[in-house]
Amino acid sequence: MSDLAKKALIRTLGFSAFMGLLIVVTGGPAYWQGWLYWIVFSLCSLVMALYFLQHDPALVERRLSATAEKEERQQLIRTVLSAVLILLLVLPGIDHRLGWSYVPGFVTVAADVVVVLGFAMIFWTFMANSHASAIIDVAPDQRVVSTGPYAIVRHPMYLGAALLLLATPFALGSLRAIVWAIIAVGALVWRLLEEERYLSQHLPGYDDYRRTTPYRLLPYIW
């Protein structure tokens, strides 16, 4: 196994274990919604990691090596988003223990399907754009991508992430966590706007792409 594969799998499995602790410890061993969400999320993450290690290791390397945002506003957005994501994972377990809200089982399962669809959109994005970075940045050899999901919206990875975030409260059986999912999507939109500003300044041809692909996140809406 290569050093890159070891690093990628350690990062993926480590994050999965951290998520499992946040979800299951707060919700308890009988929290089946938490277990199901954790299994779905972990399997999707692992499948993506294994696939791109095999078919596009350069993408994996770029995403692993890109750790710090370059501008203060970008760093602030990332900090806010990280804090909200922790709350989004912790609150449903507390909700489950205290019985604050109820989500039918079939809604929970349907929400997990939406989580998979969110991962599928992110996967499609990575297939189309090997420079899809974990931070807002432009590589020296980067070019504008306008094919695949990028022909539909300018930020398909954010669309996949938004689907995942909005499905999470229902998948974890918590109506009270919806507010945190909405705040997380709001932070995602803030990051999207910052990324557009940065790409317009640093990626040749991006403004032309903005004119030919008018929708940022939702086709025919915005």
- Distance between CA atoms of 126 and 176, rounded to whole angstroms? 32
Number of domains in the chain: 1
Residue 90 within any structural domain of the chain: yes
- Distance between CA atoms of 174 and 60, rounded to whole angstroms? 33
Residue 222 within any structural domain of the chain: no
Percent of the chain predicted with pLDDT > 90: 59
Q: Determine which helix (DSSP H) or strand (DSSP E) holds 104, and give its type and residue range.
A: none
pLDDT computed for residue 64 by the predictor: 82
Question: What are 47-100's pLDDT values in tens digits?
Answer: 999 999 998 888 888 888 766 666 777 888 888 888 999 999 999 999 999 989
Residue 154 within any structural domain of the chain: yes
Residue 218 within any structural domain of the chain: no
CATH number of the domain that 139 lies in?
1.20.120.1630
- Distance between CA atoms of 73 and 179, rounded to whole angstroms? 23
Question: What are 198-213's pLDDT values in tens digits?
Answer: 888 888 888 888 889 9
More confident call, 113 vs 144: 113
Residue 74 within any structural domain of the chain: yes
As a dihedral over the C-alpha atoms of residue 25, residue 160, residue 182, residue 32, rounded to 10 degrees, the angle is -30
Q: pLDDT-derived band of residue 158, with 50, 70 and 90 as boundaries?
A: very high
Q: Residue 114 pLDDT > 90, yes or no?
A: yes
Residue 151 within any structural domain of the chain: yes
Q: Please give the span between the terminal C-alpha atoms of the chain, in angstroms, as a whole number.
A: 44
Q: Residue 181 pLDDT > 70, yes or no?
A: yes
pLDDT computed for residue 47 by the predictor: 95
Q: Residue 147 pLDDT > 80, yes or no?
A: yes
pLDDT computed for residue 66 by the predictor: 66
In three-state form (DSSP H/G/I as H, E/B as E, the rest C), the secondary structure along 114-137 is HHHHHHHHHHHHHHHCCCCCCCCC
Residue 221 within any structural domain of the chain: no
Host domain of residue 206: 3-212
Is the pTM higher than 0.85? The answer reads yes
Residue 220 within any structural domain of the chain: no
Structure tokens at 204: 């040749």
pLDDT computed for residue 174 by the predictor: 95
Q: Residue 194 pLDDT > 70, yes or no?
A: yes
